[in-house]
Amino acid sequence: MLPTVLITGASRGLGAALLRTFAEAGHPVVGVARHPAALHAVVDDLRRRGLAAHAVQGDVANPDTTAALIGEAVAKAGPIGVLINNASILGQTPLPLLLDMEDRSMNAVFQANTLGPWRLMKAVAGPMVLRGHGLIVNISSDAAVHHYPTWGGYGASKAALDHLTATLAAELDGTGVRLLAVDPGEMHTQMHRDAVPDADPDSLADPADVAVRLVRAMSAGASGRISLPALGVAS
C-alpha cells in the first residue's frame, strides 16, 4: 500500500498538479485548501476517475484548526506518509518594499508560510517517528536565498521555513523521517501572476512538469535542500 500524501494549497497551481501526479501514481491523496469549490473541482475529478482522493477544507494559517485538519485527513485517508507544505501566500500585492509592508500582512505571511507548515510538521512527524518512516517536503523559493527588493516578507518566511526544515532534520536524525526543502523555480500560476503581472509566460515552467520532476526527486531519496531549476532538467 503506497503512503498517503497530504498536500496543502491543493486547489490550484503546483499543489493541484502534485495531487494529480501522486493520485495517478496510485497514492491515496488528501488535498487541503481554503476554498471548497476549487478544491472539490480538483478532487472530484480524480475520484470520478476511480482514484483515492480526498478533500479537507482548511486554512493552514489558523493555529486553532490544525488538529481538526489533520484529524479529518487521517480519518478519511489513513496515517500520513508524506506531507507536502505547498500552501503559501504573497501577502499584500503589489509586493511592497520592507519599509512599506503592513504589519498585518507580514504576520499573515509568516502564519501561512512558516508557522502553518511548522504546526503541520508537529502533527505528522510524531506518528512518522513512531512508524520509523515518513517524508516531509516544504516548498521554498529562491527568494529565501537571494534578496530581491519587494520580496522581503515572502522571502523571509521561506528562509525561516528552510531553517525549520534543516533543524527538524537534525533533531530527527536516525528516526527514518526525511525532510526536504524544494525551490521549484518560477511557474506559470496565479500566484506568479499576482506577484509579477507582466512576466513573460514562456519563461515560466508548467506546474504539471514541475510536479513530475519533484515527485521524481522525492522518489530518488532527495533530502536537504534542492533547487529544481538548478537540477537542470529540460522543460
Task: Give the catalytic positions in this structure.
Answer: 154
The answer to whether residue 130 forms part of the interface with another protein (CB under 8 A) is yes
Q: Minimum Å distance from CB 51 to another protein? A: 18
List all residues 6 or more positions away from 160 whose beta carbon is below 8 Å from its beta carbon.
110, 114
Grid coordinates representing 29 are: 491523496
Q: Looking at beta carbons only, is 57 or 105 nearer to another protein?
A: 57
- Is the Cβ–Cβ distance between 28 and 5 less than 8 Å? yes
Least CB distance to another protein at residue 44 (A): 12
Site string for another protein, 64-93 (x = CB under 8 A): x-xxxxxxx-xxx-xx--------------
Q: For residues 71 and 94, which CB has a smaller minimum distance to another protein in the complex? A: 71
Give the β-pairing of 29-33 and 53-57: parallel
Contact 143, 185 (CB under 8 A): no
For the chain, the straight-line distance linking the first and the last C-alpha, in angstroms and rounded, comes to 32
- By the rule CB under 8 A, 129 interacts with another protein: yes
Q: Please, which of residues 196-235 interact with another protein by CB under 8 A?
A: none
Cell matching residue 212: 513530475
If the CB atoms of residues 54 and 192 are measured against another protein, the closer one turns out to be 54
State CA 83 to chain mean position distance: 8
Rounded CA separation 203/235 (Å): 10
Q: Which three cell numbers stand for residue 205?
A: 515552467
Residue 6: beta bridge partners?
A: 30, 83
Q: Binding to another protein by residue 131, rule CB under 8 A?
A: yes
Is position 57 an interface residue for another protein (rule: CB under 8 A)? yes
Q: Of the two residues 37 and 234, which places its CB atom closer to another protein in the complex?
A: 37
CB 18 within 8 Å of CB 10:
yes
Rounded least distance, CB 177 to another protein, Å: 11
Q: How far is the CB of 117 from another protein (least distance, A)?
A: 16
State the sign of the Cα–Cα–Cα–Cα dihedral 62, 67, 68, 70.
positive
Q: Which of 26, 44, 49, 126 is the binder for another protein (CB under 8 A)?
A: 126
**SS3 of residue 8 by DSSP:** strand
Segment contacting another protein by CB under 8 A, of 7-15, 136-144, 170-178, 203-211 = 170-178
CB of 3 to another protein, least distance (A): 13
Of 24, 44, 102, 171, the one binding another protein (CB under 8 A) is 171
Kindly state the cell numbers that stand for 35.
Answer: 476554498
Q: Which chain residues interact with another protein by CB under 8 A?
A: 56-57, 64, 66-72, 74-76, 78-79, 123, 126-127, 129-131, 171-172, 174-175
